[in-house]
Structure 1
Amino acid sequence: MDPATQTNCVLMLDLPQLALGGIDLLSFTTTPRFHGVKNIPPGLHFVFTASDASLSIRHGAWFYVSPGTGPPQVFIKKWDSTTEDFIAETSQTEVMRWKANLGAIWKDGLTPYRQTVDSSDSGREGDLIEESTDWSQLTSRITPTSLSRITGLNPDHWSLTTASSATQDLENIPGIELSASVLHPEKELNFLPIDLKRTWREGATGSERTEAAQDRSWALGELIDKHCQGDDVRVRESEVLGELQFAFLMVLTLNNNSCLEQWKRLLGLLFTCRQALKERTRFFHELLKTLRLQLSHCADMEGGLFDMNEYGGGFLKPLLKKFRKGLDGFNGRWIADIIDELDDLQDYVRQEFGWELDDFFVKRGMLELEDGEQVEMEVNGIDEDEETGEYAPTIVELTPAQMKELERSDVSYARHDQQSEEEDDADLEDMDTRF
């Protein structure tokens, strides 16, 4: 085979028969003749697999194809049946051997990137389904630097699995038991730290805490300035969007629950900012475009983790409604782009999910029944959902005496909690002594 006709490719070797395989938004069932994917364009890509198409644990790895006119790049991944893990080939002897023998598998063993095969045809390379061509936009802000921070420094094999998790999410992975990680410990994900229960500066009291809880712009600024990398503020802002993209795609391809929780935390932070809208207008404009594209792929998700048609639209619908309502207090040309992009998003969710983000409610009116009779109806609960009327939040200023009493209560609770832990430890020691 003429080396000049070769292009960038990734080899996926030793996969079990009829295993699940995938690259980016393309998924397929493998056959014995399948060895990988060719004609891969420059940029970041993600390959994933599982020993069975129905198995809950999936393994995947990111790699980067450099642009340019140099020799074709070959990435070699393989399934380790001993540890049931998807690993990079580290033996230089094996790497050179596979590169030298690419011609033998190029035509029939490697499927072209983005190829589709008629579902009625079993195909020599498996049943491929092309789901989208949006990959470059869905990964526009993900960088090798952010991948190294989240998954560890392992260039061209930034790996994780369905069970990989941030520390704060370890106890909240449905369907994953500890026994699933007996063969090898699961990788810890190092996400940007977000605590939606504490979004104010240290030492803040009273109204300052209340305002920071309602407008989380300060928390967003702290996240960007202290935890994102880069000398330029726009580079640091892009890292936040990149993590939002990473989290979404890892839910989409791996069903990773910890990434779903981080995706929700990021949106919960970003869409509760007000002052930051004026300070970071371009950032929020791109955020809305990113979310609009992500929502268009929610239907691709298996298992219903992105079920947006449920009653109330999950957590996202009320979040967007409050964000929309918060824009009413702004004036000026700077807000026009954000409103235009939000209008596009609103039109999309109305058409696809039936959501209404505007507060146009008829609380009381006449309803005509099937037999022609008219009855007066009243809708309850709107004030409660929208936190208006008697349900509107109020700011309460505490007196110095009340502040001291609150501090004493916190100390007392902490001592009680510590005492309970000590008693539990003592009980365990007694059990060890008896048994």
Structure 2
Amino acid sequence: MDQDTAKVLFREGAILLFLDVPEGTEFGIDYNSWRVGPQFRGVKMVPPGIHFIYYSACNKDGETSPRTGFFYNFKQREIVVRKWDSALEDIGESVVSPEDLQRYHDNTQEMDKFLGPYPYDNYKTWVSLSSYITDGLASRLSPEKGKIASVSEFISDKSTSQSRKENNEATGILNKSGTFTSEGPVSFQEAEDRLPDMKTTPGTSLRFSIIPKNKFPPGSSPSEITKHNIDSSYTLECILGTFCPENSNDILGEIQFSFICFLIGQVYDAFDQWKKLVHLLCSSEDALVKHTELYLNFITVLHFQVKEIPEDFFVDIVSQDNFLTSTLREFFTNIESGQADEILRKKGLKFRDHLTVKFKWDFTSVPDDDEPVVVSLVD
């Protein structure tokens, strides 16, 4: 970072104070993470805008717990304070008083040596991955409690000794005299029935857009049903209708949000949502004409995401069931054969050629599953 940029960020950038964090804890912001040292107090010179902060507690053996994170929209020269709760092994819920916050503002010079500078060298990469995530969208998609956990939190229905005894009797574990029965091995279904009813802890689930199960409008004819099952434009319009009317790019923000939650936040459900939204846009042929600008931006979003994915990611996850190549093949076919705008067509096919050169993916040949089946008629 050059001196002029450093001076501007020092003067205008935000500060994240991450206090009382145990040494060895994994801490990260955006595309960078570190192990917390003895003098760590936070990060300075944070560029204003949306950022993703995450952390993992660490035990004495150096093993880290599942990752937890949150999005935050930093304001210019803002000081954000988070304190570690050793009992929870997580960020505490206590709110910093206005007096303490003012004290932090008054002592920024003294705190400077305990704050690490924001890794500005990767800032452009972060912007390319988060450009459509607004503060409102991040709040809408994040769990009600604000924290994004890589492992879901569950609670079980309350039970009493009497209810457990009745359940055991019903499933044959105990007889009415209170002694165990031994009637041979327990079936899988019986064992499953004895498990407690686990539910996701309220307020901890990501609130992604719900993709309608019905792919066609009510009252559709058989031919229309067939069309809507091939072309997902109707479903896409339903999703776009849930966002602000003046900003159709919010769906791109959700694609970026889910991608970051998976790639950095390590949330597998987010990867599933990313796949669904990418496939929805790629399989909507009529929408290419109606939403040209959206699709121009969509290609840019995919370009930067594919650029940042580790190479083994495709082998282990994305190529599973050939998801990305088959989805993009459909997308490029729609662009080439449909009524897409010429600018969109050129950009889409240029993106296709780029992927072909970089990953050796073949988007032109027809996969075996799509080959026509030859049926022989026997007299």
The TM tier, using the shorter chain, reads: 0.7 to 0.9
Q: Give the secondary-structure state (helix, strand or coil) at the position aligned to 1:194.
A: coil
Contact 1:42–1:64 (Cα < 8 Å) also in 2: yes
Q: How many residues align?
A: 320
Matches within 5 A, 1:30-429: 30-52=36-58, 55=64, 57-67=66-76, 72-87=77-92, 90-92=95-97, 93-106=99-112, 108-114=113-119, 133-151=124-142, 158-164=146-152, 187-195=204-212, 197-225=213-241, 227-230=242-245, 232=246, 235=247, 237-299=248-310, 307=315, 314-331=322-339, 335-359=341-365, 384-385=368-369, 387-390=370-373
1:191 CA displacement: 1.0
- The verdict on how the C-alpha distance between 1:200 and 1:84 changes in structure 2, with shifts beyond 3 A counting, is farther
2:6 is matched with none
Return 5+ residue gaps in structure 2 as ranges: 1-9, 154-194, 375-379
Report Cα offsets for 1:195-245 as digits up to 9, x if no partner.
Answer: 4x53111333422111101000011111112x1124x2xx0x111111001
> 1:26: which partner in 2?
32
Determine helix, strand or coil for the equivalent of 1:28: strand
Letter in 2 for 1:270: L
For residue 257 of structure 2, what is the amino acid of its counterpart? Answer: F
Query: Does the CA contact (< 8 Å) of 2:318 and 2:324 recur in 1?
Result: no
In 1, Cα distance between equivalents of 2:347 and 2:253: 19
Provide the secondary structure at the position in 2 that maps to 1:254.
coil
1:153-193 CA deviation, whole Å, 9 max, x = no partner?
Answer: 68xxx43121359xxxxxxxxxxxx99x9997661221111
Q: Deviations over 1:324-369 (max 9, x none)?
A: 12233235xx52222222233223322332211123xxxxxxxxxx
Deviation at 1:309, TM superposition (A): 8.6
**Residue 21 of structure 1, CA deviation:** 0.9
Q: Cα RMSD over matched residues?
A: 3.2
CA distance in 2, matches of 1:209, 1:194: 17
Shift, 1:268, TM fit: 1.5
Alpha-carbon distance in 1 for matches of 2:268, 2:350? 29
Q: How far is 1:45 from its partner?
A: 1.1
Instruction: Tell me: CA distance 1:305–1:355, structure 2 relative to 1, closer, same or farther (3 Å).
Output: closer
User: Partner amino acid for 1:294?
Assistant: Q
Contact 1:59 1:86 in 2 (8 A): no
Structure 2 length-normalised TM: 0.75
Q: Aligned equivalents of 1:205 and 1:339: distance in 2? A: 31
Contact 1:50-1:59 at 8 Å conserved across structures: yes
Counterpart-to-counterpart distance in 2, 1:101 and 1:21: 23
- Which of 7, 11, 14 is equivalent to 2:17? 11
CA contact (8 A) 1:313 1:355 kept: no
Distance in 2 of aligned mates of 1:183 and 1:383: 40
Structure 1 residues without counterparts, runs of 5 or longer: 116-129, 166-177, 360-381, 392-435
**Is contact 1:46–1:60 with CA below 8 Å preserved after alignment?**
yes
Cα pair distance change 1:139/1:213, threshold 3 Å: same
Query: Structure 1 residue 18: deviation in Å?
Result: 1.2
Q: In structure 1, give the amino acid aligned to 2:274.
A: W
Residue deviations 1:239-269 (CA, integer Å, cap 9, x gap): 1111001000111211101111110110111
- What's the offset of the Cα at 1:16? 2.1
Change (3 A) 1:63 1:210: same
SS of residue paired to 1:31:
coil
State the AA in 1 paired with 2:305. Answer: Q
Where 1:356 maps in the other structure, the secondary structure is coil
Shift of 1:149: 1.3
Residue 87 of structure 1 deviates from its aligned partner by 4.5
SS of the residue corresponding to residue 296 of structure 1 reads helix
Structure 1 residue matching 2:138: 3-state secondary structure: helix
Deviation track 1:63-105 (CA, whole Å, cap 9, x = no partner) reads 11235xxxx2101122222223235651305434433433322
Please tell me whether the aligned partners of residues 336 and 345 of structure 2 are also in contact (alpha carbons under 8 angstroms): no
